[in-house]
Amino acid sequence: MSDVGGGYGNVEFGPPIGSTPESEAMFDELVAGLENGGGEAGPPIALDDFGNPVVNTGSAGPGYAVADENTPSTRTVQRGDSLYKIAKEVYGDANMWPLIAVANGIETPDLIKFGQELILPPKEGFDEGAVHELAGKFYADKEQARQAREEAMATPPASGPVATAPAAQAAPGADVLTEGRASMRAYWESAQDRAAEEGSALKYMGASLMRTLGDVGYSVAEMGVGVYNDPQAALVGAGKGVVNFGPEAFNAATNLTKMSLNGLTLLAEAAGVPQGTFADFRETDPYNITPLLAYNGKAEQGGALLANLALGAAIGKYGNYEIGGAGAAGEGESVLFGQRRISPNFSSEEGVPEYLRGRPISDVAADLRAGRLSPNDIPIKAFTTESGELVSINNRSLGALSEAGLKPTNVEVVQPTLDELRRLTQSPIIPNAPLPGPRIPVTPSQTNLEILRIIETAR
């Protein structure tokens, strides 16, 4: 129990709600800070027979009881309230929330519940700057304690008859990130409060989104520090990430959907639906699947994130066909040749993929048949004619696929240039082969039109 006399009388406050020894220590530090920075003690507050502060009655807005400058008032928590919002309404300063937190034994502002009765102590006699500093430090200390717990969990127990636990030290860069996250949260939570006061749902949503994105950014940065400091743990985390990929992909989609729906409910209320209609829905947590393997510390989380990103990229690139040889790409697109001839070799110019540059079309076709190359490795750029036909621009790539008996599976539709359109007006080299068409002759060069072979598109 802590006895705070400075500024709002001799009132005892209990330990934090849902407290642990660690949180009680932080709570006591906060109270001590208020005692030391609170200025001269104000006049004592009258207590009833049970030691509770005597509160004046009256009306001072929804859920309030009024008080003079030396007597606490009370407030019943309404839907959508936070200690920041209440502090802003009562004191005109959202960062005075530590006074309310200490008075009610609340460890964090997020723990207040609808219908909860709060004591609102007067702020006279307290140094506002000291309270502001405590507000920021409180969250920074809490974040640092959370990181220390995770690092302790990640440290294997020492073997032998006598094991001495090493002193917990924050990883390099952790303090900067912790302080930065606390400042970021305080800023956007104040922005949310201002938006709520203005009745602007769009500003409120914007501030909420920016806080969420900020948290994500700081979490990724913390994981990066963890990976840098403990690469071995990162490798363990990467293995766990592969195992957990399915549940984590589902959880990411679920959380994004819930965040979007929360925003839509705010828009609906801004458009005329009674305020608070969807408050219960917004307070619910999205349904998440528990990963099969738990991560110990930021290093493992960072390793898992890198593994998940690599898996996602691989699925994006190779997920639309089966690995195993020619024809594995599925049906593919029907694309017509867009010029009257092609050379036997791919271009040697920069910009052509290295695995194609300067190679004979027949060799690339052989690699496609053998499964050494996939149809997805042969990108085709094409344009659409007025009749809806797809016409190739890079015809040697289409020739290699066609010679392998494959249709394109990696087609990008683009706007044609005038030169590419003029190709369709050229006189064909082989009879009965109008452009665009399914057949194209291979000749040694543009001037030597000797037909080496004719390639037809796959059917």
Q: What is the DSSP string of 43-57?
A: PPPPB-TTSPBP---
Nearest to 145 by CA among 165, 168, 167: 168
Helix, strand, coil shares of the chain as percentages rounded to 5?
45, 10, 45
pLDDT at 65: 41
- Which tokens belong to 125? 């006699």
What's the pLDDT score for residue 145? 66
Looking at the DSSP bridge assignments, the partners of residue 455 are: 440
User: In the numeric block, which tokens belong to residue 352?
Assistant: 């052509």
Question: Are the C-beta atoms of 453 and 442 separated by less than 8 Å?
Answer: yes
Q: Confirm if 359 and 406 have CB atoms less than 8 A apart.
A: no
pLDDT tens for the chain, 459 residues: list them. Answer: 344 333 333 333 444 444 445 445 555 555 555 555 443 333 333 334 444 444 433 334 444 443 444 556 788 888 767 777 888 888 888 778 777 877 777 766 656 777 788 888 887 766 777 777 777 776 666 667 666 766 665 555 444 444 444 444 445 556 677 778 888 888 888 887 787 777 777 887 788 788 888 888 888 888 888 888 888 988 998 888 888 888 888 888 888 888 788 778 877 877 788 877 887 887 787 888 887 888 888 888 888 888 888 877 776 654 443 333 333 333 567 899 999 999 999 999 888 888 999 999 999 999 999 999 999 999 999 999 888 889 999 999 999 999 999 999 999 999 888 888 888 888 888 887 788 999 999 999 988 999 999 999 988
Cα of 234 vs its chain's centroid, Å: 20
| pLDDT value for 174 | 60
pLDDT of 401 reads 94
With tokens 């819930």, the residue in question is 258
- Nearest-angstrom CA–CA distance, 185 and 208: 10
Count of CA atoms in the C-beta half-sphere (13 A) of 378 = 34
Burial class (CB in 10 A: 0-12, 13-18, 19+), 18: exposed
Nearest CA among 172, 177, 299, 291 for reference residue 242 = 291
Distance CA 375, CA 360 (A): 17
Nearest-Å Rg of the Cα atoms of the chain is: 34
Output the CA angle 378-382-383, nearest 5 degrees. Answer: 170
Single-letter code of the amino acid located at 339 = Q
